[in-house]
Structure 1
Amino acid sequence: MPVVISLQGAVPADVAVGLSPLAELMACLHSIAEPEHHLAVRQWLERVRAELSTESQSLIAVYSPLWTRMRCRLLMPLEPPLGLTLEQELARLEALSLDDFVMGAAPSVHGGVFDTHGLLTDRAVREAYILSSERRSFSRGELARSLFQAPERTRSGLLELLRRCAAEFFDAEWARVRHRLENECTRVRARVQALPLPEALASLSPNATVGHNPPSVAYDKLQSLRADLRGRRCLLVPSAHTRPHLIVRDDPPYPLVVHFPVENTGRQSEQATLAQVRLRLSILSDPARLSLCRHLVNEPITTSDLAARTGMTLPQVSRHLGRLREAGLLTSRRDGRQIHHRLDTDCLMRLGVDVLTSIIR
């Protein structure tokens, strides 16, 4: 179920690349609410969760539907320009009409499929929406009821929470990651100007594919969405905390947003594609290769030694080593006339995370 963005008629001027501290704060709140999805920042999460005030923890639980399953479009840039401060973005949110706030928050509060047409004008639709939200979870039902019965208070509570989070942990974290995200913006802007738009947008994810007729980009997501960029703006916003998720939100009249992850380290490291994960799991499922891995993990070893230990022929061992090398699981080093092989344990250790990432991205 891919997310497909049609780029027929779109031009580089339609695409803006920049920072959004509010979107980054939402990514942080998502990882706090669902830490099992974010193993790479586990230590940071444990520290932040331990230091959060009791009141902030309580408010995060109340408003969590806005950033768990479906990220709230209102907590992303509402329009260009990008690069505002957090307080400037909060001022935009505060300046929305209550009707716009309610309709912008309603899809995320529900978190599932519900036709929101008529929510503001039809009491029966509104009651059905609240009931449907309650069936999804108690917290969603409570927030849905509050959204319609006391929208101003609901928005004020959300703004209070976001400002509390800024003071308690986010201001320091934003200062830490901002420079890295600015560098990523520079790289992505250069690609948008130098490459065809489908290729530039595909570069945001290792699991993106480019279409040519019509020009498009497809992201491998557990989401079905088709968006047309013709005559619209597209905002590309990097994040240090949204990994492994790439988020695409298409909520007219707001611009389409792609909130994409960057590496958590200054050095780019390999992120396994879905095809690589499948290949590695398939190769490791073979009993003979798994037997070889038990020898390869302990010490560097030659092909002939492996054959002697396992009872396989040299050609058999060579074929299995070739498959392990093809999957990036084997390292080989020449020592004189001998070539010693060893299992790449770092790659193997990442495989579990790669499997999880491939499932939930």
Structure 2
Amino acid sequence: MMHDFLSNNRAALIERCRVKVAKRPARAASAEQLEKGVPLFLDQLIKTLRIEQTKDPLDSRDVSGPANGTASMSEIGTSAAQHGHQLLLLGFTVDQVVHDYGDLCQAITDLAHERDAPFQIDEFRTLNRCLDNAIADAVTEFSYQRDHLADERRFHEANEQAGFFAHELRNALSTATLAFEAAKAGNLNLSGATGSVLHRGLMGLRTLIDRSLDDVKGLSVKSASPQLFSLAEFIAEVEHAAELAAQVRGSKLVVSSVDPQLALAGDRDLLYAAVGNLLQNALKFTHPHTEVTLNAYAVADRVLIDVKDHCGGLPVGSVETMFQPFKQHSADKSGLGLGLLIARKSVESFGGTLSVSDIPGIGCVFTASLPRYSMPPV
């Protein structure tokens, strides 16, 4: 009888399946797979075969499910669906789900041939029915969960993109508003530094809106060649806008001198947004009447831009989640929790890195490390 053969050779069949799985690229027999995959199915197959030898053989359908692909709840269907879900979470593909059950069928056939074990035609039909139902339920659940995860990923990406746009739109508007209020309060004309800040904010608004409209229209924007620009001039431009924000918050902005020969290459607007977000973050959390410092200098083949505050130090464990989207680490929830992530992505577009160092009891330092370039001779 097939159920006796399977019971007596259960360990050998599981081992053969494990060996087959291990031979496939990027596959290994995980603990979850061994517990709820082939071994559980094999036990349910044995149970089905035994019931079919009783006076109520149709009761086996509660374990195996019916033939001909009719949808029905069964023990094999439920566990196969769980198995398909687990394989998705483990990073496997739909064909690997099918292979798991095919391995067992092949192992049973090979071992039966080696040991000259005779099976009845009805027993083979039961084996095929159980395999068909298990594969169908495993693949169905795998596909459903895969599509569900894909939908969640698309929703998250769209939500993050909308957040990026709103965050940068608000930054550009705040910059323009600060400059306008400063010019109005001081009866200033708009030909000086304050006017430049206002112009930068308005141009930033226009650029963000234009890019958003291009995205809506599905227009692909070709990336331009990296733009070489002076680090000293860039820092001076950032300083003008940050100084206005520092005055509003009652803090002091300290900016070190920059070597005029140093240069950077990339999208100037993206880096402006990155450093602007770092300064905005520092001014938001630094204690009242303390300094926020901005230093830009070269070390070997890198340009480092440091933004240091006096926030009192970072909360325990926050460094690991500092750059995650929509994460906020203080009681001030006025932002979206996207500024640091935007800054990191912008810096990485330059081939750089953005990191944070905690100074316990004092504050923290965000450091952008970028490839170093030199200004061409005049």
Task: Give the TM-score band, short-chain normalised.
Answer: under 0.3
Larger relative contact order, structure 1 or 2 (CA cutoff 8 Å, min sep 6): 1
User: What is the TM-score with the length of structure 1 in the denominator?
Assistant: 0.20
User: What is the TM-score with the length of structure 2 in the denominator?
Assistant: 0.20
When Rg is computed on C-alpha atoms for both structures, the one with the higher figure is: 2
